[in-house]
Amino acid sequence: MADLDLVDFAVDYARQKGASYAEARYEHQTDESFILKNSVLDALYFGEDSGIGVRVLAKGGLGFGATNSMTKTDVKLLVDDAVKIAKAAHRKDPISFAPEQAVVTNWSVPQVKKLSDVPVEEKIEEINHIDRELKDLKFKIPARYFQQSNKQIDKYFVNSEGSKIRSFSPRVRLFYFLTVQHNGDVEQTYQNYGWSGGWEALNELQMRRRVIDEAKSMENSLEHGKKSPEGKMDLVVGPQVSGIAAHESCGHPTEADRVLGREASQAGKSFITPASVGQRVGSPLVNVCDDPTIEHGIAFYAYDDEGVKARRRYLYKDGLINEFLQNRETAAILGTRSNGSARASAYNVEAIVRMANTYVEPKDWGLEEMISGVKFGVYMKSFMEWNIDDKRYNAKYAGREAYLIENGEVGSPVRKTVIELTTPTFWGAVDAVGKDLEIFHAGFCGKSDPGQALDAALGGASMRLRNVYLR
């Protein structure tokens, strides 16, 4: 770790230079990752990324600067730059931050098996083992691609209001991409799982079983899959599909910076406006939460990157638009308080409004119970292709693992089922929410310029949707 006194110095110096508010965030991230492609260890990556980012408010303008040279001279230069460009903004509508209490604390994520104690060769062997099991299956898997990453993030945050927060966050990810071939036809999948904690992650997430089960389901789809039926019918979706819908058509449109147009040129705007709070967007059974405090969720944090305490946010509650994700800047504009949603992907980018662990809150239905109530429809367990427009209103999720439901029973696999619905149509059709909850699908959520790909967990309970158009 670098000399952390420099972080305090940066804030004090910014105040001396005329900043009305200043914050400095030092980060040291170690990233160990490797790619195993078709049984070959393509490359091992080990990086240490460290430096300081300083954000200031001066004369109503906002300036940010970053350096990885932790010397007093360079930190002074950086602060000079940040204050100068903030003042140069000459804003007609000065930027302000919603009030917050100063916080002095340390927090960290516990690890059962410390990442730093597990040699990289052991980590590689674990993935080799999964790869060997795949190769032992009696069908063709011509492309097998794994990327395993272990990140350890130390942070020290200081602001001019007296906050001083140190944190340590270890994160484990496994991404895999498989191609299964059968009689000249192919099925492809990619999955991304994540965990805040130590090397116990792969066991806890049962990764060996998941990968093998998925490969078998792909072969099953190729061998027995039928064309998915087209028309209006009932649909049961698994946690992975609930999770992507929670993230894309609830989490993103309720980001306050997007609602206010700050992302308009990149990640877009939102069909939701500040006046939409309280409006119906789904059936009364729909609760979608974003909760950074979920233990072991890949996006776990106790305090955000503006020093605000994290808490659960009900974005859609009882089917109504309930709350936006806010940082201090958007909260000041909308006359509310931050709910601790500010995050940055590294020291060298500003903290902006981000989702953390976003999910459909479970209720009390069993999966079989939901399926038994369907006369004719589809059970979509996972998806492959997906996208959504920049106002987050028109989404598409194309099935990877999906089955026909007839007379309350799961039948043969169906291929490439397409859900292409508007956000209110999708959420409005929900008539049952399961008690199963899974929040370990890990996305890289993209936003901002320069782009910040950030850890985000997607999950939830299974759901049943009535009478929706599928093809």
Residues 289-318 that bind another protein (CB under 8 A): none
Report the alpha-carbon distance of residue 236 to residue 374 in Å, rounded: 9
107 binds another protein (CB under 8 A): no
Residue 245 corresponds to which amino acid?
A
The burial of 133, by beta-carbon neighbours within 10 Å (0-12 exposed, 13-18 middle, 19 or more buried), is given as middle
Report the alpha-carbon distance of residue 163 to residue 297 in Å, rounded: 25
139 binds another protein (CB under 8 A): no
437 binds another protein (CB under 8 A): no
- Paired residues of 380 in beta bridges: 237, 402
Q: Is 55 helix (H, G, I), strand (E, B) or coil?
A: strand
229 binds another protein (CB under 8 A): no
- Contact between 309 and 301 under an 8 Å Cβ cutoff? The reply is no
Given phi > 0 = left and psi -120 to 50 = alpha, else beta, which region is 231? Answer: left
Of the candidate spans 105-113, 236-244, 309-317, 381-389, the one that interacts with another protein by CB under 8 A turns out to be: 381-389
Report the alpha-carbon distance of residue 245 to residue 422 in Å, rounded: 11
8 binds another protein (CB under 8 A): no
64 binds another protein (CB under 8 A): yes
Closer to another protein at the Cβ: 196 or 254? 254
235 contact partners, CB below 8 Å, separation of at least 6 = 377, 378, 379, 380, 419, 429, 464, 465, 468, 470
210 binds another protein (CB under 8 A): no
Of the candidate spans 85-93, 238-246, 295-303, 430-438, the one that interacts with another protein by CB under 8 A turns out to be: 85-93
CA 386 vs. chain centroid, Å, equals 15
237 binds another protein (CB under 8 A): no
268 binds another protein (CB under 8 A): yes
142 binds another protein (CB under 8 A): yes
95 binds another protein (CB under 8 A): yes
Of the candidate spans 220-228, 280-288, 393-401, 403-411, the one that interacts with another protein by CB under 8 A turns out to be: 393-401
Residue 228 per-residue DSSP state = P
Which of 177, 276, 369, 466 touches another protein by CB under 8 A?
177
Closer to another protein at the Cβ: 421 or 439? 421
> How many Å from the N-terminal Cα to the C-terminal Cα in the chain?
55
Of the candidate spans 47-55, 235-243, 275-283, 336-344, the one that interacts with another protein by CB under 8 A turns out to be: 47-55
Print the binding letters for residues 326-345 with another protein: x by CB under 8 A, - otherwise: ---x----------------
Closer to another protein at the Cβ: 125 or 364? 125
